């Protein structure tokens, strides 16, 4: 008898579609005994502009089946060469499973074409607590760093889809803002100090500025505070070239802005030493290993 397909609706999570305890990724951390060459600086698989397909009706099973080469909880690395950087993609998340499906469907082949050694982490907060992006990005950094020696952390909104794979997801010797040209802003930088959307930092850069502030509850400002942290520590912000760093933003309702965000930004540098990754206390409520990503839910 043919197995019946469990159809999931647009906003449903893939919980139950996969038994997350079944994943076998024991080889993931072992070093490859056969020496393989370093991957080329520019991957031969890049195609340039590839307009994101926004298919909100795609089923979870189909997304999982399409990329079944990614088996270790969102981790993949090239088999024929050694990736130049190990990249953790940290996605702060709350209840946007429709966007998540579209995002995964787009980002996995994009990252594969770049020949990266990468893993995707989705970080969620207890439903009773107001969304706090900076805090979730800090948790993503801390949790991913516990399981692999990443060279680069990319902080990535779930609603942003890169349109050109020459936009390389790797870190540089200074922090880099990547989502420079977003369709919502007519492919222009909305303001010069913006650092939100997609950004890339190494472990040392993150630790140097003590990560993001944990104080920005609600929408907005945590990225502006990070910009100030970089400036305060005399770091230079790099920007990707706007002709390759183009993004499509998925449509969603505007979240409720945090009314205290401007005051917090103003006083941010007084707290920089005690407000960040170094002093962060949290508890893990749930950890699910899905084939295309690792999901971590926390409370504070």
Residues that bind ligand NGS (CB under 6 A): 194, 196-197, 220-221, 223-224, 257, 261
3-state secondary structure 270-293: HHCCCCCCCCCCCEEEEEEEECCE
For residues 35 and 251, which CB has a smaller minimum distance to ligand NGS in the complex?
251
**Nearest approach, Cβ of residue 282 and ligand NGS (Å):** 22
For residues 180 and 244, which CB has a smaller minimum distance to ligand NGS in the complex?
180
Q: Residue number with the shortest CB distance to ligand NGS?
A: 196
For residues 215 and 294, which CB has a smaller minimum distance to ligand NGS in the complex?
215
Backbone angles phi, psi at 142, to 5 degrees: -65, -45
For residues 160 and 171, which CB has a smaller minimum distance to ligand NGS in the complex?
160
**Nearest approach, Cβ of residue 181 and ligand NGS (Å):** 12
**Nearest approach, Cβ of residue 258 and ligand NGS (Å):** 8
What secondary structure letter does DSSP report for 169?
A: -
For residues 14 and 92, which CB has a smaller minimum distance to ligand NGS in the complex?
92
Edge to edge, what strands does the sheet with 181-182 contain?
A: 160-162, 246-249, 181-182
How many angstroms separate the Cα of 212 from the Cα of each of 134, 228, 264, 299?
5, 10, 13, 17
**Nearest approach, Cβ of residue 218 and ligand NGS (Å):** 10
**Nearest approach, Cβ of residue 90 and ligand NGS (Å):** 16
What gap in Å lies between CA 20 and CA 17, rounded to an integer? 9
**Nearest approach, Cβ of residue 208 and ligand NGS (Å):** 22
What gap in Å lies between CA 266 and CA 285, rounded to an integer? 33
What gap in Å lies between CA 199 and CA 171, rounded to an integer? 9
For residues 216 and 282, which CB has a smaller minimum distance to ligand NGS in the complex?
216
What gap in Å lies between CA 282 and CA 135, rounded to an integer? 10
Say if residues 83 and 116 touch (Cβ distance below 8 Å). yes
């Amino acid at each position: 008898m043919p197995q019946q397909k469990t159809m999931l609706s647009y906003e449903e999570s893939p919980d139950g579609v996969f038994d997350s305890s079944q994943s076998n990724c024991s080889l993931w951390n072992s070093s490859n005994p056969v020496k393989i060459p370093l991957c080329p600086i520019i991957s031969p698989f890049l195609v340039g502009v590839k307009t994101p397909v926004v298919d909100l009706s795609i089923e979870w099973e189909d997304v999982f089946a399409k990329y079944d080469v990614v088996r270790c909880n969102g981790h993949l690395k090239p088999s024929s060469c050694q990736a130049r950087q190990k990249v953790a993609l940290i996605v702060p998340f709350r209840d946007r499973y429709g966007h998540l499906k579209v995002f995964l469907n787009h980002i996995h082949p994009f990252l594969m074409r770049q020949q990266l050694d990468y893993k995707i982490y989705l970080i969620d907060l207890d439903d009773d607590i107001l969304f706090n992006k900076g805090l979730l990005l800090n948790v993503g950094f801390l949790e991913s760093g516990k399981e692999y020696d990443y060279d680069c952390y990319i902080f990535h909104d779930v609603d942003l889809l890169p349109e050109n794979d020459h936009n390389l997801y790797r870190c540089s010797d200074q922090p880099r803002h990547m989502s420079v040209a977003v369709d919502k802003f007519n492919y222009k930088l909305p303001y010069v100090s913006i650092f939100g959307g997609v950004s890339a930092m190494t472990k040392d850069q993150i630790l140097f500025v003590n990560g993001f502030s944990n104080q920005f509850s609600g929408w907005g400002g945590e990225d502006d505070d990070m910009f100030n942290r970089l400036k305060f520590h005399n770091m230079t912000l790099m920007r990707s070239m706007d002709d390759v760093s183009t993004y499509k933003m998925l449509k969603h309702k505007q979240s409720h802005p945090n009314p205290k965000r401007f005051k917090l930004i103003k006083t941010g540098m007084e707290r920089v030493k005690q407000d960040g990754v170094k002093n962060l206390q949290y508890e893990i409520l749930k950890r699910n290993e899905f084939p295309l990503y690792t999901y971590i839910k926390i409370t504070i």
